[in-house]
A and B are shown apart, each in its own frame.
Chain A
Amino acid sequence: MAFLDLNNLSHQYFTKSGFTKAIEDISLSVEEGSFVSFLGPSGCGKTTLLSIVAGLLQPTEGQVLIDQKPLKEQKASIGYMLQQDYLFPWKTIEQNVVLGPYIQGDRSEAVKQKAASILSEIGLGNVLQSYPSQLSGGMRQRVALARTLMTDPKILLLDEPFSALDYQTKLKLEDLVSNTLKSYNKTSLLVTHDIGEAIAMSDSIYLLSANPGRLSKKFGVPSHLKTLSPFDARQHNDFNALFQDIWKELNKLE
Chain B
Amino acid sequence: MSKTPLSDQKRFEQYERRLKKEKQSIRVWQVFICVFFFAVWEMSSRFQWVDPLLFSSPSKITNLLVKKFTDGSLLLHMQVTLFETVAGFLLGTFLGILLAAILWWFPKVSKISDPYLVILNAMPKVALGPIIIVALGPGYFSIIAMGAIISVIITTIVVYSAFEGVDENYLKVMNSFGANRYQCFKEAVLPASFPTIISTFKVNVGLSWVGVIVGEFLVSQKGLGYLIIYGFQVFDFTLVLSSLMMIAIFAAIMYQLVERLEKRLIKQ
Contacts and interface: CB of A to CB of B under 8 A. Distances in A.
Partners in one complex: yes
A84 B183 CA distance: 22
B73 to A, nearest CB: 47
Interface string B154-190: 0000000000000101101111111100010001100
A131 B170 CA distance: 16
Interface residues of A, number: 21
Given A75-B178, A90-B267, A103 B183 contact: yes
B268 interface: yes
A161 interface: no
A90 B268 contact: yes
Interface residues of B: mostly helix, strand, loop or mixed? Answer: helix
Interface in A181-216: none
Contact of B177 (A104, A132, A133): A104
- Among B176, B183, B188, B194, chain A packs the most CB atoms within 10 A around the CB of B176
A90 B191 contact: yes
A141 to B, nearest CB: 13
Contact of B176 (A56, A89, A132): A56
A86 B173 contact: yes
Interface string A55-80: 01000000000000000000110111
A129 to B, nearest CB: 12
A114 to B, nearest CB: 15
A103 B177 contact: yes
Contacts of B183: 103
Contact of A88 (B170, B175, B266): B170
Interface of A: 54, 56, 75-76, 78-80, 82, 84, 86, 88-90, 99-100, 103-104, 131-133, 151
Interface of B: 167, 169-170, 172-179, 183, 187-188, 191-192, 194, 266-268
23 contacts: A56-B172, A56-B176, A75-B178, A78-B176, A80-B172, A80-B173, A80-B176, A82-B169, A86-B167, A86-B169, A88-B170, A88-B191, A89-B268, A90-B192, A90-B194, A90-B267, A90-B268, A99-B177, A103-B177, A103-B179, A104-B178, A131-B267, A132-B268
Given A103-B179, A103-B183, 20 more contacts: A56-B172, A56-B175, A78-B176, A79-B176, A80-B172, A80-B173, A80-B176, A82-B173, A86-B167, A86-B173, A89-B268, A90-B191, A90-B268, A99-B173, A99-B177, A99-B187, A100-B177, A104-B177, A104-B178, A132-B268
